[in-house]
Amino acid sequence: MAPASDTAPGSLNIANWQYPENIRRSFQNIAKIHPTARVSRGNEPIVRLHISQARLGNLEVPKASYTDPSLTVRGVIHATDTDAVLVVHNGRILWEKYNNTMTAQTDHLLMSVSKTVVGTLAGALSDAGLLNVDELASTYVAELANSGYASATVRNILDMRSGIKFSEEYLDPNAEVRLLEEAIGWAPARGAVGPIGMYDYLLTLQAKGPHGGPFEYRSCETDVLGWILEAAGGGSMQQLLSEYVWSKIGAQQDLVMGVDQYGTGMYDGGFNATLRDLARLGHVYVNGGRALNGKQVISPEWISDTFSQDPEQFEAFANSPGDNMMPGGRYRNQIWFPNPQTNAAVALGIHGQMIYMDPATKLVIVKLSSWPLPQDPSKLFPTLRAFEAISQHLRENG
């Protein structure tokens, strides 16, 4: 982690925006720090989310062990640096809360929830016959044939099962995940890589093993996937996302995409959206691929594939070289599945960004946060258990 900022109070820039004391402000002001492009919401009517308030805050959250303190849903939300939280059941708002200057119109940085946005587009292009996930990545982007991705398939990349060497150690300034930020101008150039742009940086990555092996979480996979989708769809990311996804969900605002110095999207973690628009997107995954306005965004077949509990996925996840702290979990189509018992899908981003999607109860919970640390199990896992407690309550009480 970079040292504390010595800049003037209120000043945010590429050097200090990720300092712990600045995250609460910077995540709500990315367009003032980095270049961005807008993904149009289109001309469709905004889908209104009707309010049907429920008393959920006092629900008890199951303990992970007998030594854990007793917690309520409200207690977990209060203790986990929550900027905003929204619980939507069958398209109706049960609970909505904003903190820390957040409002219903605020665009908040999604970090790696962005990956699920890109994965949704992959599903839409596959449904349209423009993307074959079993093809080699280099079929769509010829330049990848001369990189570490030479023999990787699109499916390998979707499920983060390539053999690429890429460290996701956020607190290591020399990890590839941090060097990528330097390459795209989202962090000061230290000379290690230089400001070469997203796509040129991806071409420097090398394979450390065969593709199609164990799951390993690597942000670069989504950036390569975005490149592939642009080629397969024949347009820019902002054009394709608007046409196939964002214009179909009845969003209230444009999606804001952070970009590099050449206008290429920061696909792995640079999107920004409102709380309610994320709920509108999440509903697609709990409603067979259909948005709240009835528009089919992705096919039921893609949804079925995403939620299928394939033994190979469990094995790939269990054999991951990193400790994901999700025993029995899996990863599919740019989405986490941390609990095989609930089989709920979770879009996750560092510093506490989440969309919880449970088709069994048609429940969507969105939480936007400003955790000081990128990863914090003491905040993540109680939050997931709180979401599961809400889902269980709805299952039992309707």
Instruction: Give me the helix-helix angle, 176-183 and 219-233, nearest 10°.
Output: 50
Q: Which of 52, 65, 70, 112 is catalytic?
A: 112
Q: How many other CB atoms are found less than 10 A from the CB of residue 301?
A: 13
Vertex 61: Cα angle to 60 and 62 (nearest 5): 115
Q: For residue 195, with 0-12 CB atoms within 10 Å meaning exposed, 13-18 middle and 19 or more buried, which class applies?
A: middle
Which residues, including other chains, have CB under 8 Å from residue 366's CB and lie 6 or more apart? 84, 85, 86, 88, 275, 278, 279, 282, 354, 355, 356
Residue 186, token pair as written in the block: 């989202």
Which residues have CB under 8 Å from 112's CB, separation 6+? 219, 222, 268, 269, 347, 348, 349, 350, 353
Q: Are strands 92-98 and 50-51 parallel, antiparallel or unpaired?
A: parallel
Beta bridge partners of 349: 353
User: What is the residue type of 26?
Assistant: S
The first and second tokens of residue 322, run together, are 């990193």
- Phi/psi region, residue 52 (left: phi>0; alpha: psi -120 to 50; beta: rest), is beta
Q: What are phi and psi of 40, to 5 degrees?
A: -65, 140
For residue 344, give Cα distances in angstroms to 196, 300, 335, 356, 369. 39, 16, 10, 7, 20
Amino acid at 153: T
Considering only CA atoms, which of 107, 84, 119, 105 is closest in space to residue 32? 107
- Alpha-carbon distance values, 199 to 238, 265, 376 (Å): 16, 10, 30
If you ran DSSP here, which 8-state letter would residue 49 be given?
A: -
Can 112 be counted among the known catalytic residues?
yes
Find the length of the chain: 398
The CA distance from 226 to 232, in Å, is 10
- C-alpha–C-alpha distance, residues 340 and 328, integer Å: 6
Active-site annotation, residues: 112
